[in-house]
């Protein structure tokens, strides 16, 4: 950071121009706080973004991914991941606000900020009342880079506990491609059939990836 003119250092630049004026590397440098050895915070930020493929890769990173960068230890990796998670949570609705999901687009707006850019696959359900208002969202399974395991009984146990009238299935694809696999299609069919028997409507299955999504309803496959 010593090679950067004082008025152009991230902290001073933020105070002078506002946080929106900072680049991705400058924001990461602010989170890191200071450098390591001869490498300044901005150098570390550049190395981190370079190793992970930019800010979108940073959003998918796991602790080990960050610690592979020289100068990033356990504490700094935790700082960065905490900042990312805090950013995600600011994009979700205010506590107590009952979101009404009446279309796949609204479902995507509700789910993508929280679950779209995860480093491993997560499978969950959005539990709805009879007016399609959100009761709660629950992650049922966390898998590896490309798979999670869920059983219909897990889905409907949660629905019964919440006294839900309907639900939306969702999971993310860390690969970046939201198109469903053959297993996704088969699982959707099984859960829809189980829901019909139990009197709980499976409204949709959303597959999430970064800022893209696939909806079984929109695709006419539900």
Q: What is the pLDDT of residues 164-222, one digit of tens each?
A: 999 999 999 998 899 999 999 999 999 999 999 999 999 999 999 988 999 999 998 76
Same domain, 143 and 70: no
| pLDDT, tens only, 203-219 | 999 999 988 999 999 99
Same domain, 77 and 119: no
In the DSSP assignment, the letter for residue 217 is: T
Give the CATH number of the domain where residue 13 resides. 1.10.150
Same domain, 123 and 62: no
In the DSSP assignment, the letter for residue 31 is: H
Cα 138 to Cα 168: distance, rounded to the nearest angstrom: 11
Q: Is the overall model pTM greater than 0.75, yes or no? A: no
Report if residue 97 sits inside a domain.
Answer: no
Cα 49 to Cα 133: distance, rounded to the nearest angstrom: 39
Find the helix or strand (DSSP H, E) in which 141 lies. Answer: strand 134-142
Query: The domain containing residue 170 runs over which residues?
Result: 104-215
Number of domains within the chain: 2
| Distance (Å) of CA 98 to CA 73, 93, 94, 102, 137 | 40, 9, 9, 13, 12
Same domain, 117 and 190: yes
Same domain, 56 and 124: no
- What integer pLDDT is reported at residue 5 of this predicted model? 57
* DSSP β-ladder status, 134-142 and 122-128: antiparallel
| pLDDT, tens only, 88-120 | 777 765 555 678 999 999 999 999 988 998 888
Same domain, 142 and 70: no
Give the CATH number of the domain where residue 149 resides. 3.40.140.10
């Amino acid at each position: 950071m010593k090679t950067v003119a004082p008025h152009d250092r991230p902290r001073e630049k933020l105070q002078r121009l506002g946080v929106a004026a900072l680049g991705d590397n400058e924001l990461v440098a602010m989170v890191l706080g200071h450098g390591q050895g001869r490498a300044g915070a901005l150098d570390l930020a550049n190395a981190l973004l370079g190793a992970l493929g930019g800010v979108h890769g940073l959003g998918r990173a796991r602790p080990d991914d960050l610690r592979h960068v020289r100068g990033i230890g356990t504490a700094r990796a935790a700082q960065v991941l905490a900042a990312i998670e805090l950013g995600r949570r600011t994009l979700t609705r205010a506590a107590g606000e009952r979101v009404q999901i009446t279309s796949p687009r609204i479902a995507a707006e509700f789910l993508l900020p929280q679950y779209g850019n995860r480093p491993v696959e997560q499978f969950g359900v959005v539990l709805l009342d009879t007016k399609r208002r959100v009761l709660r969202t629950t992650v049922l399974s966390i898998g590896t880079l490309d798979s999670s395991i869920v059983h219909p009984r897990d889905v409907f146990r949660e629905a019964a506990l919440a006294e839900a009238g309907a639900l939306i299935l969702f999971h993310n694809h860390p690969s970046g491609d939201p198109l469903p696999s053959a297993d996704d299609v088969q699982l959707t069919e099984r859960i829809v059939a189980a829901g019909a028997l139990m009197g709980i409507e499976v409204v949709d299955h959303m597959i999430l990836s970064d800022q893209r999504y696939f909806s079984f309803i929109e695709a006419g496959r539900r």
